[in-house]
Amino acid sequence: MIVGLVKESYPGERRVALTPAALPLLKKAGLEVIAQSNAGDSAGFPDSEYQAKGAQLVSRNEVLSRSDLLCQVRTSSANPREGRSDLPHFRRGLTVIGLCDPFGDRNAIEALAATGARVLALELMPRITRAQSMDVLSSQATVAGYKAVLLAAGLLPRMFPMMMTAAGTITPARVFVIGAGVAGLQAIASARRLGAVVQAYDVRPAVKEQVESLGARFVQLPLEAGQAEDKGGYAKAMDESFYRRQRELMAKVVAESDVVISTAAVPGAKAPLLITADMVRSMPARSVIIDLAARPGTDGGNCELTKPDETVTVSQNHALVLGPTNLPAAAAQTASQMFARNLTSFLLHLVKDGKLNIDPVDEITRETLLCSDGEIVHPRLRQAPQADRQENLTQRREGAKAQSV
């Protein structure tokens, strides 16, 4: 069985799906690897390292035409513009594994399914113990949380730590992290290592102990969250009245913060609006917001002023609002190493005796299988009912109303 590796074509994407260190494990499992020349250059892995580990270097078209199993960071549905050119090479008998943005562009997913290729979406990996080593969302969120703090520290016109100097005592910067998932916890840890005073909030009260174990103060809001967490450990979407009350209660904490790092995202739903324009204007002069809930092609993220992949400057206090959508690519080597380890674990789970074994009974396989035999087969995505489309439209209208207020 031939495993193919191509250079990522998404603009600004520097990661690579498989690193040279992963190849011996795949070879031991009976898999042969062919790679596009320069596939890992942007991540710091030259062709010579792939060749030394047994990979054969060929052209992109040859990788696409010869592979039985294609590994990508972003499949064509997560890269609909540049990824279209690969689709004519996709076919029945080919299995594609990578990030697919399954809740994104429906047309792109349908185009991918129409090729007949079998597609496994890494975003749909179930959060169960057996799949922890395959969880690319968690590994890449770790990188994003770390880089978000460094980005904020570089933009803030003051240093993070408290310092006692001959020129007097410098007070520490105040950082507020919204959302204590993997990215949020890493942001808390990184900000604390830099010496900031850190506060954090999450709709899930159960994470309080994790926040405090990292040296941050957990912000308690008098809100009844109810069942705020799904069975996979992700935060669930709440109604607009809850978010309105949440914004009111968080306003004071935001106003006292030099840096806000927001990570509150709900899989398959629009990111909740948690920081209004008025809240941003109330922050100290030249403060910084890093909105990790921003997504390409969407309207904003957790902050009303967020524009994906842009920097917005607020005229009143010169605060900066950033919505980076691919921070892991900013640490491409480390992010690729983590991604490759996750992907290799997944491949070794799927391959038995040198052959791909797609077992519909296995929860990991069943939950990640997005497309097969020309159809979208995942239960949550098999159809795009008109009701869902109407619900999404309603959410966008409610968000616009909230912003206009």
Q: What are the beta bridge partners of residue 168?
A: 165
How many CB atoms are located within 10 Å of the residue 107 CB?
11
**DSSP letter (8 states) at residue 123:** G
Active site residue 127: yes
- Rounded Cα distance between 337 and 20, Å, is 9
What are 146's two structure tokens?
């770390």
Cα separations in angstroms, 58 against 19, 52, 75, 76, 90: 16, 15, 20, 20, 17
What are 194's two structure tokens?
């830099």
> From the candidates 36, 42, 138, 345, which is the catalytic residue?
138
Q: What are the beta bridge partners of residue 371?
A: 119, 376
- Rounded Cα distance between 223 and 204, Å, is 11
Give, for 383, the enclosing helix (H) or strand (E): none
Active site residue 138: yes
> From the candidates 59, 65, 132, 213, which is the catalytic residue?
132
> From the candidates 135, 202, 258, 291, which is the catalytic residue?
135
In terms of residues, how long is the chain?
405
> From the candidates 66, 68, 234, 333, which is the catalytic residue?
234
- Rounded Cα distance between 64 and 91, Å, is 10
DSSP of 220-276: P------S-B-TTSPBPP--HHHHHHHHHHHHHHHHT-SEEEE----TTSPPP--B-
> From the candidates 127, 192, 193, 245, which is the catalytic residue?
127
Active site residue 132: yes
Comparing CA positions, the residue from 311, 299, 331 lying closest to residue 190 is: 331
How many CB atoms are located within 10 Å of the residue 232 CB?
11
Q: At what angle do helices 386-404 and 240-255 cross, to 10 degrees?
A: 40
Kindly provide the residue ranges of all beta strands, DSSP E only, lying in 215-295, ordered along the sequence.
217-218, 259-262, 288-291
Catalytic residues: 127, 132, 135, 138, 234
